[in-house]
Amino acid sequence: KFDFLWDIGIGYQQPYQETHQFFNYKFNNGKKSTYTCIPLSKWSDDLMIDRYKFSAKQIAKALTIQLKKAKEENGVVMFDLHPIRIGRKEYINGLNLFLEQANKHNAWIPSVTEAVEYWRKHKSWKHNAPVCCLLTGDIDNFTFWDYLRRF
């Protein structure tokens, strides 16, 4: 009715963390949302760094495992990686190692909006990529670039 795109990650709830496809949220009354929801991986910087005290190599491995799972379904995986935390010198190499693996797996790594718009139009990933990987920053930033624009 209002013709706007709202892309969010409702995937904090457990059932949505295990899926690798965009979905429409099912409300208690049985109706489904008209907006696109994105599953959010439980493997956030909070979990890996603060709780489990992962090294950079362990971070790369955890993210790569999730990417491979999404790839098996020609799916999407979205990671919540706060730039201030993942960008620290002791962890940034974990992100770099992961991105090398993502490239080896031919992952498409667009912005959240670009991924949703492309999927809605084509029902596939750009360049026929076998998997889509979304990297988000913090709650008010959908990409690392959004965060960097603050400075």
Give the chain as a DSSP string.
-------B--TTSHHHHT--S-B-PBPTTSPBPSS-B--B-S--HIIIIIIT---HHHHHHHHHHHHHHHHHTT-EEEEE--HHHHTSTTTHHHHHHHHHHHHHTT-B---HHHHHHHHHHHSS-GGG-S-EEEEE-STT-SSHHHHHTT-
Residue 55 lies in a domain: yes
Residue 132 lies in a domain: yes
Output the average pLDDT for the chain: 85
Name the pTM for this structure: 0.82
Domain count along the chain: 1
Q: Answer yes or no: are the C-beta atoms of 92 and 59 closer than 8 Å.
A: no
The residue assigned the tokens 């208690």 is 28
Residue 126 lies in a domain: yes
Residue 142 lies in a domain: yes
The tens digit of pLDDT for each residue in 80-92 reads 898 888 999 999 9
Tally of CB atoms within 10 A around 51: 9
Residue 36 lies in a domain: no
Residue 14 lies in a domain: no
For residue 78, what are the domain limits? 46-148
Please give the residue that has the higher pLDDT: either 108 or 149. Answer: 108
The tens digit of pLDDT for each residue in 1-50 reads 445 444 454 545 666 677 899 887 777 888 887 878 888 898 999 999 99
Residue 120 lies in a domain: yes
